[in-house]
């Protein structure tokens, strides 16, 4: 199946104030590279080569200076603006002309995924069509996340956005595989009490169709949401530790593109 990718890199980044007063959150460094390199390379590992970056008004130029049009990595990158934070699901509406009738991988710009055979896990998710695939990760503070409730067979029975009394600690991460229905379903959503188009509401629509799959990222995987000072520091420390142990870069676009066969060795320079 062919998928197009969307990186949602908008928002105000208020949890990282004052760092985000003069720079978009997703351009902040996570150890030795910009935060946005992490979701970008996750999309490459999933086999996605057409990518849309959605960011805030006025932030397009720094992203274009950093990422250009993607040809240096054997991909294409285009850009759109989210005028104000109005929910994750709005990314599908902003990108509907880009998506057309194609399948979509939507990823949040501050989410970092790492693990053994991550590429295999992602590409397996891309073969599960029609429907949607989301990824679950056990967390200590489930009230801060969208949470999946599962039955005894491990099937998702409900998704609750930031529940006051969580009945599960299985967070739905910021990585979503959707079939071509995603835009039309997102168009049917009503704003929540926060006046946002909630991604949990979209996922519930797929659940009601019986077409929502959840892949739990268990032992051997790490999921980091680098949206707060504490988590940004933890992410940097994690990347530094892993790179020192492995003796290689994590989330380097040149290395990832080369490993995926998108470019040849003569394209690679230092990073």
Distance CA(39)–CA(8), nearest Å, equals 9
Strands (E), the chain: 3-9, 29-30, 33-34, 50-55, 76-81, 103-108, 111-115, 132-138, 146-150, 156-161, 170-178, 212-216, 221-225
Distance CA(71)–CA(76), nearest Å, equals 6
**91-117 pLDDT tens trace:** 999 999 999 999 999 999 999 999 989
Distance CA(26)–CA(174), nearest Å, equals 14
Q: What domains lie within the chain, and their CATH numbers?
A: 3-134+172-267 (3.90.550.10)
pTM here? 0.94
**235-263 pLDDT tens trace:** 999 999 999 999 999 999 999 999 999 99
Contact present, 220 and 115 (Cβ < 8 Å): yes
For 17, the token pair is: 């104030």
Average pLDDT for residues 145-151, to the nearest whole number?
92
**179-231 pLDDT tens trace:** 999 999 999 999 998 899 999 999 999 999 999 999 999 888 999 989 899 99
- Of 239, 262, 236, whose CA–CA distance to 250 is shortest? 239
- Of 115, 110, 129, 118, whose CA–CA distance to 1 is shortest? 129
Distance CA(268)–CA(260), nearest Å, equals 13
| Residue 271: band (very low, low, confident or very high) from pLDDT cuts 50, 70, 90 | very low
pLDDT at 153: 82
Q: Which residues contact 43 (CB under 8 A, 6 or more apart)?
A: 5, 7, 51, 105, 107
For 249, the token pair is: 């870069």
């Amino acid at each position: 199946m062919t998928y197009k990718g969307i990186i949602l890199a908008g928002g105000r980044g208020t949890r990282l104030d004052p760092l985000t007063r003069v720079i978009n959150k997703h351009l902040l460094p996570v150890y030795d590279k910009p935060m946005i390199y992490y979701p970008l390379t996750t999309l490459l590992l999933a086999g996605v080569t057409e990518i849309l970056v959605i960011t805030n008004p006025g932030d397009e130029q720094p992203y274009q200076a950093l990422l250009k049009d993607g040809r240096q990595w054997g991909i294409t990158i285009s850009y759109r603006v989210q005028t104000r934070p109005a929910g994750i699901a709005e990314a599908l509406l902003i990108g509907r002309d880009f998506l057309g009738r194609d399948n979509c991988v939507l990823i949040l710009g501050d989410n970092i995924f790492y693990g053994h055979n991550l590429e295999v896990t992602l590409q397996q998710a891309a073969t599960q069509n029609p429907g949607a695939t989301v990824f679950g990760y056990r967390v200590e503070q489930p009230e801060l996340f969208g949470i999946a409730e599962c039955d005894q067979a491990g099937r998702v029975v409900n998704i609750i956005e930031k529940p006051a009394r969580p009945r599960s600690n299985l967070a739905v991460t910021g990585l979503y595989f959707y079939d071509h229905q995603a835009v039309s379903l997102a168009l049917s959503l009503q704003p929540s009490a926060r006046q946002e188009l909630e991604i949990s509401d979209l996922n519930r629509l797929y659940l009601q169709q019986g077409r929502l799959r959840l892949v739990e990222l268990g032992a051997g995987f790490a999921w980091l949401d680098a949206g707060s000072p504490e988590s940004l520091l933890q992410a940097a420390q994690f990347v530094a530790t892993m790179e020192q142990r492995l003796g290689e870069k994590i989330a380097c676009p040149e290395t990832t593109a080369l490993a995926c066969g998108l470019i040849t060795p003569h394209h690679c320079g230092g990073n």
